[in-house]
Amino acid sequence: MTALAEDGQATGPEAAQGPTRQAPVTSHVAAAPVRDDRDAMTSPPALAAEARRLLAAGLSVIPICPDGSKRPTVAWKRYQGERVDDATVATWFHHGEGLAVVAGAVSGALEVLDFDAPALFTPWRALVEDLCPGLLARLPVVQTPTGGRHI
């Protein structure tokens, strides 16, 4: 999962080496894991169903390029302030696109911690577990294509 800056440019491992806290007023695109069973969840109908499920949970979603760049396939600035409707979702996810969640106020003040340096996640996780046992078990933790994590 890769973050997108306000200008739509992807940020990569070279852009940040540790966790990045996203303020609720800042829009941030985070590629959402569909579920643990990725093969079953990557079909266009399954991705559209997952997008509708996430919408129903109050999250703003957009399709992203299937090439691993995590670039939106739509003009996403609009979805920083409003959630897409089901009719629009029905027009997406027909060409192998991925699914991303737009963080910030539009998604109920969703915040994302972005670990681009995989080596930093394990010690951070241990520290969180020591300070607040069981917290990470209650949060979605997504492994990114580069081995980083989004929480």
* b/e burial code for range 30-41 (CB count within 10 A of at least 16 → b): bbbbbeeeeeee
Beta strands 149-150; 142-143: pairing state: antiparallel
Does residue 58 contact residue 107 with C-beta atoms inside 8 Å? yes
Domains of the chain, by residue range, sit at 28-150
Query: Among residues 27, 10, 14, which one has the least CA distance to residue 98?
Result: 10
pLDDT tens for 106-125 read 999 999 999 989 999 999 99
Place of tokens 């999250």: 59
Q: What is the mean pLDDT of residues 88-104?
A: 91
Residue 124 CA to residue 100 CA, distance in Å, equals 24
Please give the Cα distance from 97 to 44 (Å, whole number): 8
Phi, psi values for residue 87, rounded to 5°: -65, -40
Query: pTM for the whole thing?
Result: 0.67
What does the pLDDT look like over 13-54, one tens digit per residue? 333 444 444 333 334 555 544 344 444 567 888 889 999 999
Picking from 98, 113, 106, the residue whose alpha carbon sits closest to that of residue 50 is 98
